[in-house]
Amino acid sequence: MRIVLAFSGGLDTSFCVPWLQENKNAEVITAIVDTGGIPRIALDAIAQQARAVGAAEHHEIDARQAVWEGFISTLIRGNVLRGEVYPLSVAAERTQQAMEVAALARRVGADAVAHGATGAGNDQVRFDIVFRTLLPEMPIIAPVRSLGLSREASQAYLRERNLPIPEGASRYSVNQGLWGTTLGGQWTHDPWTPPPADAFGATGRVPEAREVIIGWRQGLPVSLDGQEMAGPELVEALTALAAPYRIGQGIHIGETVLGIKGRIGFEAAAALILIAAHREVEKIVLTRWQAFWKDHLARFFGDRLHEGQGLDPVMQDIRALIDSSQRQVEGRTRVRLDRGHFQVIGVDSPFSLFDTGVARYGETHNLWSGEQAEAFAAIASIPSRLAHARDAGDGQ
């Protein structure tokens, strides 16, 4: 039996390799799908871990551009933040990873696909939905879920076989990708408990505050400080710039796919900066109702993606409206990076509706007269006046 296993190099997927060999008599082919944010040294360590726990083959798939084009670009254009704080760092990447693993399973003639997700998290649903959609005839094996294993039990299994246990397996579950890093662990199970001092990566002296200029074209970032870059490279460069400032560290509590409450830590400086900066360009370019309906549908897009429904046909329909709204979202944003926070301090666009020749807010006006403004206010007050009069009972 030939099984392709989505492999992260962490504890759960390391456990899956020998378990599948022993219990399914399987030739296990592991696949790490690089959706960004993973340094070369870490990818090499993942490959080494796969071989050390017994993988027959190990594949490394570069999906950075694919996840950018398929999902992250829409999250930026849609200003998508789950719970108003969390930039969906994992959902987009898991969907793309499952798609890439499914394609590999087809190429190598696999008999089954497998993943290391637990029975209590979101990732199991994301992997399963994509696999069932793209590989409807192929069994899905999820050993950690089916056995209901604890992290301690998985470690014991590897230890008994003298197989390497990934570093840090006893403390944290870390998901690192282009759109941010998420952290799970004992502290996330109690909403009153703060993160440990070493939960987030940045240490050392925080540098002096600085500004960066982000260039925009059709709603997407295309340059950083004047240097043109492809999307994934720009995100990685901005992450590297922002990391020493300890920007983008946060905690999110929200609904999981299964309906329970969940809590994670995250570090996603580039995602938060780009979404905030993009929103400012939109504010001077889009009309009120363009922005309203685009953001309304984008939130639904984010919810469906979070729930593993990235392949739902409605997602393409929503993308079409979002893409249309972004045709003139072009310009530059100035962002100030400082200790623990950032601020978008300037914006301009060749398509700006911010026209001081028409009016200066709170000061002067050229397109209407004072009498017209007075009449507008009188008419705008009518619904409230009628309701107030009705509720006051005087009928006037």
Cα 389 versus chain centre, distance:
49
Domains in the chain, CATH or no CATH each: 2-170 (3.40.50.620), 176-348 (3.90.1260.10), 359-392 (no CATH)
Average of pLDDT values for 312-322? 97
Average of pLDDT values for 304-316? 96
pLDDT of residue 355: 74
Question: What DSSP state is assigned to residue 86?
Answer: B
pLDDT class of 196 with cuts at 50, 70, 90: confident
pLDDT tens track for 241-293: 998 999 999 999 998 888 889 999 999 999 999 999 999 999 999 999 999 99
| DSSP one-letter string for 98-145 | HHHHHHHHHHHT-SEEE----SSSSHHHHHHHHHHHH-TTS-EE-HHH
Task: Please state, in angstroms and rounded to a whole number, the distance separating the CA atoms of residues 32 and 50.
Answer: 10
Residue 235: how many CB atoms within 10 A of its CB? 28
Per-residue pLDDT for 363 more than 90?
no
pLDDT tens track for 129-169: 999 999 999 999 999 999 998 888 999 999 999 999 987 65
Lowest average pLDDT, out of 62-66, 101-105, 193-197, 330-334, goes to: 193-197
Per-residue pLDDT for 396 more than 60?
no
| Percentage of the residues of the chain whose pLDDT score is greater than 90 | 78
Cα 124 versus chain centre, distance:
17
Enclosing H/E stretch for 370: helix 370-380
pTM: 0.90
pLDDT of residue 329: 97
Per-residue pLDDT for 358 more than 80?
no
pLDDT of residue 362: 61
pLDDT of residue 172: 66
pLDDT of residue 175: 83
pLDDT of residue 140: 98
b vs e for 352-371, b when ≥16 Cβ sit within 10 Å of the residue's Cβ?
eeeeeeeeeeeeeeeeeeee
Lowest average pLDDT, out of 12-26, 186-200, 221-235, 360-374, goes to: 360-374
